[in-house]
Chain A
Amino acid sequence: NAGVTQTPKFQVLKTGQSMTLQCAQDMNHNSMYWYRQDPGMGLRLIYYSASEGTTDKGEVPNGYNVSRLNKREFSLRLESAAPSQTSVYFCASRIGRVSNQPQHFGDGTRLSIL
């Protein structure tokens, strides 16, 4: 019963390096989301995909790009990592188009940028 799977779980990068965070869900959900969580703070939405083939900016999109590869997979790319992007990144999915269905979250990717 995998749910939402994120890879990798941990990563250390140097400033300026690029990296792609992977997310896959096996619940046949339409909507997928990327959040970041900084220490002591709530989650902030980076990008989301309401359905396959669409993506939209969230609250804090600068410095990130996303790809909705297919219905299952939604990746987040850092083109040139900066120390300010050190955070825990969570991917979530939701069935979408049905009111009040919950979001289901992965266990996060802990990213440190030196």
Chain B
Amino acid sequence: DAKTTQPNSMESNEEEPVHLPCNHSTISGTDYIHWYRQLPSQGPEYVIHGLTSNVNNRMASLAIAEDRKSSTLILHRATLRDAAVYYCILRDSGVDFGNEKLTFGTGTRLTIIP
């Protein structure tokens, strides 16, 4: 499986944008980039995913480099509730037999400063 690399931790001020980087230099052409986050004492929750084009949803934006070897999760205006561990995960977009397995690394622990 292609591997991702993320910084162990980041800090950001409340109400400012946050850019969380992820490197995936061995990504294959069929890999989607998924982001999950895990709030304290909770299970992970899905944030966003993309293949080549930048993506936006109500939670965040995903910016994908032209060569797809890196991506950035953007939280436009961080709140205290965004303090969590953020995981960048690659998932093969091949035929889905219902047996998708996500490989979680250690992620980036985001601290929001009031």
Contact = CB atoms under 8 A, between A and B. Distances in A.
B43 A96 contact: no
Contacts of B46: 102-104
B99 A108 contact: no
- Select the residue from B96, B97, B104 with max chain A CB neighbours within 10 A: B96
Contacts, number: 71
Task: Indicate the size class of the contact surface on chain A.
Answer: 20 to 34
Contacts of A33: 101
Contacts of B107: 42
- Select the residue from B91, B97, B100 with max chain A CB neighbours within 10 A: B100
A43 B44 contact: yes
A100 B33 CA distance: 10
Interface in A16-62: 30-31, 33, 35, 40-45, 48, 50-51, 56, 58
Interface of B: 32, 34, 36, 41-46, 49, 87, 91, 93, 96-107
In the complex, the 3 A-B pairs of residues with the closest C-beta atoms, listed nearest first: A105-B43, A96-B98, A42-B104
